[in-house]
Chains A and B, each alone.
Chain A
Amino acid sequence: MTTARAAQPAVKQKQRRPMLRYILKRIAIVPISVFVLGSVSFFLTFLIPGDPAITILGDFATKEQIAHVNAQLGLDKPVLERYVSYWTNLLQGDLGTSFFTNEPVLSDLGKFLPNTIELVFFSLLFALALGMTIGVIGAYFARRLPDRIMSGITSVLQSVPDFFLALVGIYVFFFLLGWAPAPIGRLPITAGSADERPFLIFSSLFTGDWETLGMAVSHAALPVLALGLVYASYFAKTARGSMGTALTTPQVEFARACGLRERTVVYYAFAASRTTVITYVAILFGSLLGGAAIVERVFNWRGMGQWALDGVLKVDVPIIQGFVITAGLLTLTLFLLLDIVVLLLDPRVSYE
């Protein structure tokens, strides 16, 4: 990770292109992380107690089913051999097939991951907008009435589980008011095969398919609201903290003394705290890839989280492994991008 520290010109002159070196170094660690990740996902299967095949299939499984699962798990072979063949398959992009649906895990991922990315993208966008507003207002009016109201809102949002907020949303907006559609997926049942398209909202936006876009947005509204409201509290807390510090720095005093407009002053203070906010976006994006699972399930969103959760509950080992590897890879990539973006935005960060 990067550490904020005063730049040291003496060291800088010795190394040429320190930023490039840093980025290359960060990329060089990636294979090691991937190796650890893959191994963890391999050894997860050792946690299953008793006879895995029976745990997976239940007590009423036939002999053939047990033999099939054992062969797929490779339990008839020594551990080392299994480990090697696991990596060979993995490096060829073969994540295995589900025990229960016999679908290749990779094609499942292709179907479900885009749904989750879309949901998480819009939820975070909403959370960011709302949370930043709450936090900045609170920091600007520090210790005055607006600050108290905003911190009250923050602690209420912080105390609600997202799945519970989702249920309240369904009751109020679907049952009482009838504004939102039934929580049965991304499109009404009548939409048919349009549901299969990945990135429904983005693709219908770019192809100008307004009817589908309208339906997709109305179905996305409640899950986005539920996740967005809960995660807005994180941004509100972060923004309140970092803006609170930024607004008391000498720069801000100086900017005010120069007679800059108040809005410009706040903007400068915001610019100083933007790296903290970006870091939070990346962390939350990573955790929401799986963390949205329960909300996805409540709305039958058919996202990666819901898919993984179903796999986990049925002890569908290839799905669990596929999810662990995918979520891990996405998180790794995200953090790599984050470090590079923070480096570009904040010259105080040292290249270590």
Chain B
Amino acid sequence: MSDAAAIPKSPAAEVVTKIVNFARVSPGIVAGVAVLLFLLLASFLAPLPYDPVTPDPTSVLQPPSAQHIFGTDANGFDVFSRVVAAGRSDLPLALAGTLASLVIGLLVGLPLSVKSKWSEGFMRALDAFQSFPLIVLSVTIVSLTGNDIQNILYAIVIINGPRFIRLIRSEALAIREARFIEAAIATGARPRRVMFRHIMPNVIDVCLVQCSLTTANAVIVIAALNFLGIGVSPPTPTWGSMVQVGAQAISTGQWWIAIWPGVAIFIAIASLNMLANGIQRRVEGS
């Protein structure tokens, strides 16, 4: 490191050194973020060899080849173009669902950390709610409120909102015991200020872990609902609906239609889990 300090460097190189140093300490975070950024950038910017929503009826069920590197499906869609393009709807939706769950978790979980009979009752109700098979409940709600991709957002929030509430509440309960909260109250800070200025910044690091786990879960929920045909508007590709199309062909050996979007789902979830583990380790270490 002494060499690096001696030679003057351009700002860009300095950033690179910082990233490399960070990667030495937390390889999980850097790898996870890198893969995620790659997926996001690829789905929005990568040049597609074929139009993902225009089928080519002359090449149907082609195995992977030089023309179609991931093959084509029963309708003549190019699987590679669709796998890449599907990230445009799947990833932002997963992130939006996570963000909504986080906001709900903060808005409900922080006030609930004030001990009272009322908050105990609410947690009991939450227990009962969470003990339910939530994936089916969310399918019910999405299909009853209309077959719209935005409604998948509700499903993600229904499943993950309670987890955030629980996590944030229990963290906030522990932080409330700290001396600096006592000090803040003694200096005359109002409850709301204590909650958002003093408690909230201290729960954020735990929330970050939960955020990446939630995004991973959201990717699965979106894929599962799309697999069932919920929130899909046909030519637009999503990973879940592509796996569904491939499922019909897999018993007869056309593996490439279902496997590639499945691999995309796997990579997205694995990188998010890696990120979560990395942050978890940092939070525990500090």
> Could you tell me which A residues sit within 8 Å of B by CB distance?
1, 33, 36, 44, 47-49, 155-156, 158-161, 163-164, 167-168, 170-171, 174-175, 182-183, 283, 286-291, 293-294, 297-298, 305, 308-309, 312-313, 315, 320, 323-324, 327-328, 331-332, 335
Q: Which residues of A contact B122 (CB under 8 A)?
A: none
- Evaluate contact between A291 and B135: CB separation under 8 angstroms: yes
Listed stretches B62-70, B72-80, B137-145, B180-188; interface member: B137-145
CB pair B140 A170 closer than 8 Å: no
The answer to whether A155 and B132 have CB atoms under 8 Å apart is no
Contacts A47-B141, A155-B274; is A161 near B134 (CB within 8 Å)?
Answer: no
For residue B277, which residues in chain A have a CB less than 8 angstroms away from its CB? Answer: 155
Within 8 Å CB of B224, what residues of A? 161, 163, 294
By beta carbon, the residue of chain A nearest B262 is: A164
Contacts A155-B274, A327-B133 hold; do A164 and B266 have CB atoms under 8 A apart? yes
Query: Which secondary structure characterizes the binding site on chain B?
Result: helix
Given contacts A161-B265, A163-B247, 16 further A-B contacts (CB under 8 A): A36-B128, A44-B144, A158-B273, A159-B216, A163-B224, A163-B243, A167-B246, A167-B258, A167-B259, A171-B253, A171-B258, A175-B255, A291-B135, A308-B136, A313-B228, A313-B229
Tell whether, in the assembled complex, residue B227 and residue A182 are in contact, meaning their CB atoms are under 8 Å apart. Answer: no
Beta-carbon contact of A293 and B135 below 8 Å: yes
A309 touches B228 (CB 8 A): yes
Is B131 close to A, CB under 8 A?
A: yes
Interface set, chain B 116-138, CB cutoff 8 A to A: 127-128, 131-137
Q: Are A182 and B251 in contact (CB under 8 A)?
A: yes
Would A48 and B144 be within 8 Å (CB), given that A36-B128, A155-B277, A175-B252 are in contact?
A: yes
Q: In whole angstroms, what is the CA distance A293 to B273 when docked?
A: 24
- Max chain B Cβ within 10 angstroms of own Cβ: one of A1, A49, A294, A327: A294
Q: Does B220 contact A (CB under 8 A)?
A: yes
Q: A167 to B247, Cβ gap below 8 A? A: yes
Give the CA-CA distance A1 to B270 in the complex, in Å: 33
Q: How far apart are A253's CB and chain B's nearest CB, in angstroms?
A: 23
Between A168, A171, A298, A315, the greatest number of chain B beta carbons within 10 A of the residue's beta carbon is seen for A171
**How many whole Å from B277's CB to the nearest CB in chain A?**
7
Q: Taking CB as reference atom, which chain B residue is nearest A41?
A: B140
Q: Once the chains bind, are A161 and B220 in contact (CB under 8 Å)? A: yes
- Interface status of B279 (Cβ within 8 A of chain A): no
Given contacts A49-B146, A161-B224, A167-B262, contact A328 B274 (CB under 8 A): no
Does A164 lie within 8 Å of B133, measured CB to CB?
no
For the complex, is B61 an interface residue (Cβ under 8 Å from A)?
no
What separation, in Å, do the CA atoms of A298 and B262 have in the docked complex?
A: 15
Q: Is the interface of A mostly helix, strand, loop or mixed?
A: helix
Q: Is B250 an interface residue (CB 8 A)?
A: yes
| Contact among B131, B136, B252, B274 with A305 in the assembled complex (CB-CB below 8 Å) | B136
**Hey, what's the 0/1 contact readout for B232-273 against A, CB within 8 Å counting as 1?**
000000000001001100111101001100100110011001
User: Residue B143 contacts which of A156, A168, A315 (CB distance < 8 angstroms)?
Assistant: A315
B228→A327 contact, CB < 8 A? no
Q: Are A161 and B262 in contact (CB under 8 A)?
A: yes
A167 and B133 CA atoms in complex are apart in Å by 23
Task: Tell me whether B29 is interfacial, beta carbon within 8 Å.
Answer: no
Which residue of A has the minimal Cβ distance to B267? Answer: A159
Q: Across the interface, which residues of B come within 8 angstroms of A327, CB to CB?
A: 132-133, 136
Task: Tell whether B102 is near chain A: CB-to-CB under 8 Å.
Answer: no
On whether the beta carbons of A294 and B227 are closer than 8 Å, the reply is: yes
- Taking a contact as CB atoms closer than 8 A, the residue among B140, B227, B250, B259 that contacts A320 in the complex is B140
The reply on B207 being an interface residue by CB < 8 A is no
List residues of chain A with CB within 8 A of the CB of B229. 313
Among residues of B, the one whose C-beta sits closest to the C-beta of A160 is: B266
Contacting residues, chain A, for B270 (C-beta < 8 A): 155-156, 159
Distance of B222 from chain A, by nearest CB (Å): 10
